[in-house]
Structure 1
């Protein structure tokens, strides 16, 4: 089976990018995805059984989705067709299906690889269904986005989702070793610069090889390149982050849970990741305000003030100076005593409000600005708390006939320890009044 390079009519000795020259020629050469291609793993089992189902390959860029699809076709002896959802439309799909039908009449099968399949709209995705069900094509879709959100349920139900992992340091080092073998010389990098290059690749094997190719352009015999010079040789890319997609929600979730878990260092890391990825700092500030109320609450009443001040500081200073105020807020939240008592209390009170209907307040809780309202009993029985012993009269402000509920239950942490003492004192005073 010819590859895309040969299909383009180019000679095998023509210049080719390093990543293309090192493209695996068998599944055994694919790195970092043993959970899918090792003996006994899902793809191996399908190939061994000779029953290849349609699959969705979900994973970050540069992890081998296209290569795996091509090798599956080769080992299954299926004709490989490739389209990109970015550049293809309904007419292109029709041509693919027509060619697949012609092959089927000739006794051959077709594996259709659809890159970035999540970019097809719902109607286009539905167009695959009859051709998958009839066996006209074996569909292999590739996506960097969560299929649960981006693909039709009907299509998902007919395909097995296989998750590819970002390449770890060992896998990237394997690729660099292959690159050195292909070039016939080691990368001219110091150990520190080599580690920097691996970090810059961010789990993307193709990008790692592209970076290596840039480094190999340096003259042979020169002194090894250090980290600072490496940064000048290659352009550092921003971390993989799409504010409109799953990474956005994953990283803010990681920040929120790090704060809740009092892991201040992890919280700072996720904050930095979001800012480096281009997240709107004011979106982060809004989420920090939410964390202050949801996870700290009255255990540290200053947390909410700190977060609002951080938002104002960012508005005043802008980026990058204002980002330090957000970092200060994150440190405050992560190191503060934690309580979700306010969050739970308000949720319980909200449920009770929906269940209890439109009960009126007790008369002593209402004002009586008119003579008629006084005649109707408004404000009757009210006692001014500031005139009572300890500035507490002990009246019950729940609706008449509705039992009292303790929605707010302070924790023994932070300032809520003191609030608990006050509530216990007032509860005893109120109970003593009711007995009279």
Structure 2
């Protein structure tokens, strides 16, 4: 089951009464035990990491990573209750070095009296690297059991040293069933929501996996005292639609651009267009997407369809000319062209191999016959001697050896049997045949 909510709430072993009847709905619905938490059973259940720790009566430091409104704060509070630890919560948004020193000093004093402290740090990724390092000695000595909460990928947001001392636990975005269960709890407290069944489903969809948000919207509906249930259209007019979670320099950005690239590579135009739309409607910079489409054209299609790159360059210019929203249609066209084009990474692989070979072989001299004799001295030394001008041959192909004498001929580019590269392969095979015939 799920809790969600971000501020400290009184309760359980850490000293508190039940929420005030006039408190916000989200506070009144805070779970009282880990078993009441909705949507995170993979962690809180008997076989989950948290469930096992509680059963053993021993907590290790952990980082709770998940979207907003999925229960990070309440899980931390309930963990302290479950094992009888002192609970201290700070927010990296509002706290500084002085607050941390005070928390650690108090924890050391309590530890000497035999009372262990669970230190919950909300938005832990907002502490800088030096501040994160400040946790290490207290975690290592067991002065505190650290429970950090973050919406950002810990791999990028947290120090490696801190990550090595804490278990990362991933909280799921709340699915429809979890959000529905949360609304059912609200209805058990406040009565039926003034919504049709279709509008209720629309409210759940708009929540985008955020339990805190859906309860806030439910409270708004209850407070309005509506005489008749709202249908989806009326609900949309009445409530502000939730904006999708998307930080252009954070995890959501990288997840979606990765999904777009892989959908194009996998020749799924429908999914590719969906992820393009997700990013554009969330406010992504269109020219960033145009640049990525250009990259896809050369990395995943290349010479299998030589028109792919011009399509993407034209789409970029069209967007620059038209702007939004009209120019976004050009990006959609380029996206669909790439997704439906034949795929080949032969150019991409050839480039990587050639670059590696160039670094490995250093400054080898090309064969003398293909070096231009720019001066009389160079000509007397044999520069350009024996060069065959390809256009003077019947096939327009001399078959000369163009590789440095100290280096065997290499094969970097191997065209795929797809799209236009099938024709390219025929040419290469033909030239290889002529080379063989001429020794």
The 1:297–1:12 alpha-carbon spacing in structure 2 relative to 1, beyond 3 Å, is: closer
Q: Would you say the 8 A contact 1:214–1:233 is kept in 2? A: no
- SS of the residue corresponding to residue 40 of structure 1 reads coil
What is aligned with 2:4?
A: none
For residue 257 of structure 1, report the CA deviation from its aligned partner: 0.8
Of the structure 1 ranges 116-125 and 397-406, higher mean CA displacement relative to structure 2 is found in: 397-406
The reply on whether 1:382 has 2:387 as its aligned counterpart is yes
Q: Would you say the 8 A contact 1:238–1:276 is kept in 2? A: no
What is aligned with 2:247?
A: 242
For residue 277 of structure 1, report the CA deviation from its aligned partner: 2.1
What TM-score do you get using the length of structure 2 for normalisation? 0.93
What is aligned with 1:317?
A: 322
Structure 2: any 5+ residue segments left out of the alignment? 1-7
Q: Would you say the 8 A contact 2:19–2:27 is kept in 1? A: no
Structure 1: any 5+ residue segments left out of the alignment? none
What is aligned with 1:62?
A: 69
Q: Would you say the 8 A contact 2:373–2:383 is kept in 1? A: yes
Q: How many residues align?
A: 430
Match of 2:227 among 221, 243, 247: 221
What is aligned with 1:269?
A: 274
What is aligned with 1:197?
A: 203
What is aligned with 1:287?
A: 292
Q: Deviations over 1:157-213 (max 9, x none)?
A: 2211111110011001001111111112x2222233222211111111111111222
For residue 11 of structure 1, report the CA deviation from its aligned partner: 10
For residue 313 of structure 1, report the CA deviation from its aligned partner: 0.8
What is aligned with 1:29?
A: 36
For residue 310 of structure 1, report the CA deviation from its aligned partner: 0.9
Q: Would you say the 8 A contact 1:337–1:413 is kept in 2? A: yes
Q: Would you say the 8 A contact 1:241–1:247 is kept in 2? A: yes
What TM-score do you get using the length of structure 1 for normalisation? 0.94
Of the structure 1 ranges 264-273 and 356-365, higher mean CA displacement relative to structure 2 is found in: 356-365
The 1:105–1:346 alpha-carbon spacing in structure 2 relative to 1, beyond 3 Å, is: closer
What is aligned with 1:352?
A: 357
Aligned-residue CA RMSD (Å): 2.1
For residue 291 of structure 1, report the CA deviation from its aligned partner: 0.8
The reply on whether 1:163 has 2:158 as its aligned counterpart is no
The reply on whether 1:137 has 2:113 as its aligned counterpart is no
Q: Deviations over 1:238-280 (max 9, x none)?
A: 2111111222211111111111111111111111111122221
Q: Deviations over 1:394-436 (max 9, x none)?
A: 22222234221221111110001111111111111122222xx
Distance in structure 1 (CA, Å) of the matches to 2:181 and 2:282: 28
The reply on whether 1:413 has 2:408 as its aligned counterpart is no
Q: Would you say the 8 A contact 1:368–1:378 is kept in 2? A: yes
Distance in structure 1 (CA, Å) of the matches to 2:190 and 2:237: 22
For residue 393 of structure 1, report the CA deviation from its aligned partner: 2.1
For residue 294 of structure 1, report the CA deviation from its aligned partner: 0.8
